[in-house]
């Protein structure tokens, strides 16, 4: 009863207590004017980001879950993904100067959602005098927490005992897919290892979380090196442990050691053929290496996946293979269908927009991105594609803002910063571009085989008017497996580079390699026309 009373009263506070202007910690927020300031300085909080902040403020300190935030901040969207909300929260935190690991304004709690954790005081409209508004809400929250505590005790009586609460909590955090939760998982795994240094489950969990931190969240590559060391120690103890082998391959994958990672994933499959993770990861790396026949064969063998989340990524990988093999009409139909199903999933929208740009449909590519962003989709990848489309469609000036936004969204910059330098050559930091080339070459020297590193080097050398070096790096990317000739011809970054006689010869190598793979696919025993049947999609 107490918990129900807390929720219903809290709802009335949010609906009837409409705030106009208030302080949130050291910030002044004007909901009517849609402004946020710290002292005399206005902060850049606008659009969907402000809508998110306003929704959290109106909740009066209560947690808002995914569906509540989506309804409040994305009222016109049919479906809003967790990643779209997480990305928007990252933008908000960045604008406010908040730290997810030690939040001063926006708190995230697994299962509960997000809330404003700073003290909120409403400002009177006439003279700015403040009136406390959180007293009732605070005590209701205390009552609610007490009720939750009692309910938790009741559940513990009947629920089966948890073997290791720290590990269970760490695994739960690691599975959310959010950066802050991944950091909490790492802290908990490290806490467990502090008490029990040889604990195999903690070492495995920490290895996977550390790889995720380095790759998915663009943190220091040293995390991937640490992940590799942990996985290797587990394999020394249990040489045929499929999970440890997968963790080792994941760390190699993260470090760009594609051939080592492929071998590792294949060993993990040998140790436990039932696991989907190593199969899907191996299929993707085969595609990266330009082995399109092998990649599509591996994807075809994974057609009946149980997880909806895995199935979505699997479908995008098949679509990418079909595009590179020249089944363009089928790839377009698949991408359009994917975006219709999930119009705010940034990765799918970016893939569709990049496809449209590659096939010279700039207006449609721009419209797809704008529609998705209006509904809340945002990511560094998506805004980076938007910058290229805007550059090709309207010129450099139109693209620069998107490139800078992409650089802000990317944790460690990389390609987004390179793109910004290339778009505005008058303001380009040539010294920084040379430093970036050295960084990329050092990674390649350390064993990183990803073709996109050579592509970025090619773009940087071209931006520095070093045409021969640019062609050499472009050629190296084709040798390492890059096959998207259509993108290179359409992208304003690479189109001038591949327009020369040397560039056209290099481009033809990519096309010829893709044609050879297509011939192998069409002759394969597993090939079925249903894979490219547009009417069946």
pLDDT tens digits for range 93-119? 888 988 877 788 998 887 788 999 988
Both tokens of 151, joined, read 């309910």
Q: Could you say which DSSP state residue 57 is in? A: H
Asked if 364 contacts 356 with a C-beta cutoff of 8 angstroms, the reply is: yes
CA 52: distance to chain centroid? Answer: 19
Burial of 302 (0-12, 13-18, 19+ CB in 10 A): middle
Both tokens of 503, joined, read 């560039």
Summarize the confidence of residues 402-425 as an average pLDDT: 78
pLDDT tens digits for range 197-246? 899 999 999 999 999 999 888 788 899 999 999 999 999 999 999 999 99
Confidence band, pLDDT 50/70/90 cuts, at residue 1? very low
Summarize the confidence of residues 295-319 as an average pLDDT: 76
Asked if 483 contacts 489 with a C-beta cutoff of 8 angstroms, the reply is: no
Residue in this structure with the two tokens 């089928």, named with its chain if needed = 330
pLDDT tens digits for range 139-164? 233 333 333 333 333 333 333 344 68
Q: In terms of residues, how long is the chain?
A: 537
- Give yes or no for residue 281 having a pLDDT over 70: yes
Q: What pLDDT score does 206 carry? A: 96
Residue in this structure with the two tokens 């604990």, named with its chain if needed = 199
The CA distance from 285 to 264, in Å, is: 12
Number of Cβ atoms within 10 Å of the Cβ of 500: 13
Asked if 371 contacts 358 with a C-beta cutoff of 8 angstroms, the reply is: no
């Amino acid at each position: 009863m107490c918990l129900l009373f807390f929720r219903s009263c809290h709802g009335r506070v949010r609906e009837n207590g409409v705030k106009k202007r208030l302080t949130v910690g050291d910030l002044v927020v004007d909901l009517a004017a849609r402004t946020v300031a710290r002292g005399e300085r206005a902060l850049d909080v606008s659009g969907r980001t402000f809508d998110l902040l306003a929704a959290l403020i109106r909740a009066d300190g209560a947690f808002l879950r995914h569906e509540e935030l989506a309804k409040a901040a994305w009222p016109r969207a049919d479906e809003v993904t967790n990643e779209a909300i997480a990305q928007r929260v990252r933008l908000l935190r960045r604008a406010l100067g908040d730290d997810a690991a030690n939040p001063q304004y926006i708190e995230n709690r697994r299962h509960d959602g997000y809330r404003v954790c700073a003290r909120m005081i409403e400002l009177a409209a006439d003279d700015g005098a403040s009136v406390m508004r959180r007293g009732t809400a605070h005590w209701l929250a205390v009552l609610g927490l007490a009720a939750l505590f009692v309910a938790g005790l009741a559940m513990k009586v009947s629920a089966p005992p948890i073997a290791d609460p720290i590990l269970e909590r760490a695994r739960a955090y690691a599975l959310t897919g959010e950066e802050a939760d991944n950091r909490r998982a790492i802290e908990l795994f490290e806490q467990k290892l502090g008490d029990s240094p040889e604990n195999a489950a903690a070492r495995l969990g920490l290895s996977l979380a550390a790889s995720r931190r380095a790759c998915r969240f663009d943190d220091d590559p040293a995390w991937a090196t640490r992940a590799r060391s942990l996985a290797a120690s587990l394999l020394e103890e249990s040489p045929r442990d499929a999970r440890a082998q997968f963790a080792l391959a994941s760390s190699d994958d993260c470090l760009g050691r594609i051939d080592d990672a492929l071998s590792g994933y294949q060993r993990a499959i040998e140790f436990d053929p039932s696991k989907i993770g190593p199969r899907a990861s191996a299929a993707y790396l085969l595609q990266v290496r330009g082995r399109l026949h092998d990649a599509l064969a591996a994807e075809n063998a994974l057609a009946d996946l149980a997880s909806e989340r895995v199935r979505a990524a699997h479908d995008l990988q098949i679509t990418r293979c079909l595009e590179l093999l020249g089944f363009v009409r089928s790839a377009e139909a698949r991408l359009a269908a994917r975006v219709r199903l999930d119009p705010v999933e940034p990765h799918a929208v970016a893939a569709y927009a990049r496809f449209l740009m590659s096939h010279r449909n700039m207006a449609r590519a721009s419209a797809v991105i704008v529609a998705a962003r209006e509904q809340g989709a945002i990511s560094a990848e998506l805004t980076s594609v938007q910058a290229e489309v805007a550059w090709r469609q309207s010129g450099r000036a139109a693209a620069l803002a998107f490139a800078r936004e992409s650089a802000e969204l990317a944790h460690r910059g990389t390609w987004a910063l390179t793109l910004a330098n290339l778009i505005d050559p008058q303001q380009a930091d040539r010294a920084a571009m040379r430093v970036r080339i050295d960084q990329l070459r050092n990674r390649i020297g350390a064993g990183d085989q990803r073709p996109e590193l050579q592509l970025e080097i090619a773009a940087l050398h071209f931006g520095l008017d070093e045409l021969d070096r640019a062609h050499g790096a472009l050629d190296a990317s084709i040798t390492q497996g890059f096959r998207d000739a259509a993108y290179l011809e359409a992208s304003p970054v690479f189109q001038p580079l591949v327009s020369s006689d040397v560039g056209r010869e290099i481009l033809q190598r990519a096309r010829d390699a893709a044609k050879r793979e297509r011939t192998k696919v069409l002759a394969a025993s597993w090939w079925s026309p249903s894979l490219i049947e547009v009417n069946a999609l």
